[in-house]
């Protein structure tokens, strides 16, 4: 009997130990999560330039981590601010409220910038560039949930050249967000939302003149003749820099060009802006002691220069190829630092993009692919003329922006008109215009549940209190932009299909062609950390990614 009791006790002890180990394994969290957003990175930049990438950056994530090859945005508009907000909140503009980089405020009759906050003051500059906060984002991010879970002991730091790329991912509870103020200063700055003065390590970095060290010649990383994956360097589809040169071709002497291109701001539109971002991120890891204790820290990094270069030179340019080859080296440098500082197996990384981009329509036209340009001024004039002719009023149109029409609802009421009928009349008018493919009323968005197609994407991007009364969709590859350089914003594959790579602690090795959505990232990271999902998340954890 005594032996049986001893045996049972030993068995229970082993069983409890197994449960304890299993529970420990489930909730063993990485010391540091690094979220990387590459601004304007199309999925095919991974595959098109693959053979020229090194082994330590993008290829490391593919070869050691998990590659979601069919990852898409599930809303319109595919812009920078909504992209960053959606990645980290796990939901779409319909819920988080960031419906554009700027949007028309029908109450104030003014355009609103996504992160502007007049109640705050700049930290690190006398300019108003720091009067920013995440207040316009209406939901939490997974970094917010991590802060709540750890009783505010786990840190969150956001970094980017763009303010919106630093502020929105870090969320409402971040310890800090830093972005780059160029012009004659060339410093990383912040907002009083986070702090009263810059930390010592930031001041030290700014004083180091690291930014100024990139005023050098930008030439291709490798022999330009080997850049077979991009178009001719000399072409008519690129804007280039303001300078004495006639053409936008390599090399670019930034020490000479800076005077005509707003000095430090020129760095944003070169590959070196990403290098500067990496330099600052490494100093942030050291300065904030990220990943050094038992409470998971989160670092959000947005590489903004890829977007500036894409807008300036286009998807098919030698400049965009060189920017990605150099970014690959910067990411490898960051990973090497994390290996040494935090330790392999102690951190988790994901990499994605806030949107893609369309090929320069003028280039597409040159190779006989349907594409073109919208003229917003002409569109506005035509809509005003239609409303005046139909309803005998010049005051019915307030604004057209972000492919939305804002009507003056007070004027509609004053004239005794039915708003829904006016909306439908404008939709019918828009559909008669060349290069407008589809149009829908706000009433349709309110009353119809779309489950697929562009209608579903529009509905996911439609915010009842912030969006306009009519939403319209241009024809494929038609943009409201300069005929040189390119942009983004549609629900088409060139704008929605972006990379999604995971690497590190808790991540399986593999790949999938299963459809994944940008809003699945935050729930996946929340599941990895064992924390609550962001409070309005509509995405689902990608369980096949997680160990």
Q: Is 459 within 8 Å of 445 (Cβ atoms)?
A: yes
Q: What are 458's strand-pairing partners?
A: none
- Say how far apart CA 94 and CA 465 lie, in whole Å: 10
Q: What is the dihedral of CA 242, 248, 251, 253, to 10 degrees?
A: 0
Q: List phi, psi (to 5°) of 297.
A: -100, 155
Give the helix, strand, coil percentages of the chain, each rounded to 5: 40, 15, 40
Neighbours of 14 (CB within 10 A): 10
Residue whose C-alpha is closest to residue 113's, from 86, 131, 138: 131
Q: Is 30 within 8 Å of 348 (Cβ atoms)?
A: yes
Q: What is the dihedral of CA 47, 53, 58, 63, to 10 degrees?
A: 80
Q: Is 458 within 8 Å of 76 (Cβ atoms)?
A: yes
- Extract the tokens encoding 22: 């299993």
Collapsed DSSP state (helix, strand, coil) of residue 522: helix
Residue whose C-alpha is closest to residue 472's, from 422, 425, 390, 404: 404
Active site residue 80: yes
Catalytic residue among 28, 47, 78, 80: 80
Collapsed DSSP state (helix, strand, coil) of residue 105: strand
- Extract the tokens encoding 547: 């160990």
Provide the 8-state DSSP code for 343: I
What are the angstrom distances between the C-alpha of 230 and each of 127, 227, 384, 507?
39, 6, 43, 33
The C-alpha angle 463, 468, 470, rounded to 5 degrees, equals 115
Q: Is 264 within 8 Å of 185 (Cβ atoms)?
A: yes
Q: Is 544 within 8 Å of 520 (Cβ atoms)?
A: no
Give me the active site residues, please: 80
């Amino acid at each position: 009997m005594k032996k049986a009791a001893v045996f049972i006790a030993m068995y229970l002890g082993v069983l409890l130990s197994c449960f304890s180990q299993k529970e420990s394994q489930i909730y063993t969290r990485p010391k540091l999560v690094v979220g990387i957003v590459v601004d304007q990175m199309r999925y095919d930049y991974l595959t098109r330039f693959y053979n020229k990438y090194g082994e330590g950056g993008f290829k490391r994530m593919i070869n050691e981590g998990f590659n979601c090859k069919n990852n898409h945005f599930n809303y319109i508009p595919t812009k920078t601010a909504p992209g960053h907000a959606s990645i980290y909140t796990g939901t779409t503009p319909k819920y988080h409220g960031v419906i554009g980089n700027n949007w028309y405020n029908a109450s104030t009759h003014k355009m609103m910038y996504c992160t502007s906050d007049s109640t705050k003051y700049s930290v690190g500059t006398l300019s108003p560039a720091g009067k920013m906060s995440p207040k316009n984002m209406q939901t939490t991010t997974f970094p917010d949930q991590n802060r709540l879970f750890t009783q505010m002991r786990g840190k969150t730091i956001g970094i980017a050249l763009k303010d919106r790329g630093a502020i929105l991912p870090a969320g409402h509870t971040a310890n800090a967000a830093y972005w780059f103020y160029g012009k004659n200063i060339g410093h990383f700055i912040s907002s009083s939302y986070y702090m009263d003065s810059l930390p010592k390590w930031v001041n030290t970095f700014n004083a180091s003149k690291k930014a100024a060290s990139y005023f050098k010649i930008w030439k291709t990383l490798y022999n330009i003749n080997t850049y077979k994956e991009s178009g001719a360097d000399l072409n008519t589809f690129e804007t280039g820099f303001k300078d004495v040169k006639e053409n936008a071709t390599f090399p670019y002497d930034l020490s000479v060009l800076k005077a005509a291109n707003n000095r430090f701001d020129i760095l944003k539109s070169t590959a070196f802006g990403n290098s500067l971002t990496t330099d600052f991120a490494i100093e942030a890891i050291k300065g904030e002691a990220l990943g050094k204790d038992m409470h998971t820290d989160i670092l959000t990094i947005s590489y903004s220069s890829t977007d500036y270069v894409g807008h300036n030179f286009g998807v098919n340019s030698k400049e965009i190829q060189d920017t990605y080859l150099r970014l690959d080296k910067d990411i490898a440098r960051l990973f090497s630092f994390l290996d040494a500082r935090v330790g392999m197996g102690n951190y988790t990384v994901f990499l994605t993009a806030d949107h893609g981009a369309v090929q320069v329509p003028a280039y597409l036209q040159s190779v006989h692919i349907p594409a073109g340009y919208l003229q917003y001024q002409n569109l506005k004039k035509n809509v005003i003329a239609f409303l005046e002719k139909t309803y005998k009023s010049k005051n019915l149109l307030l604004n057209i922006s972000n492919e939305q029409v804002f009507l003056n609802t007070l004027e509609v009421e004053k004239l005794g008109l039915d708003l829904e009928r006016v909306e439908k009349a404008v939709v019918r008018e828009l559909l008669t215009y060349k290069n407008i493919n589809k149009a829908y009323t706000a009433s349709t968005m309110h009353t119809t549940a779309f489950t697929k197609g562009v209608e579903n994407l529009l509905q996911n991007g439609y915010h009842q209190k912030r969006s306009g009364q009519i939403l319209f969709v241009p024809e494929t590859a038609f943009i409201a932009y300069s005929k040189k350089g390119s942009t983004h914003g549609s629900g088409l594959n060139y704008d929605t299909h972006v990379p999604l790579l995971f690497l590190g602690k808790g991540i399986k090795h593999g790949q999938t062609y299963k459809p994944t959505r940008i809003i699945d990232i935050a729930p996946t990271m929340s599941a990895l950390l064992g924390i609550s999902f962001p409070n309005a998340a509509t995405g689902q954890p990608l369980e096949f990614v997680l160990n």
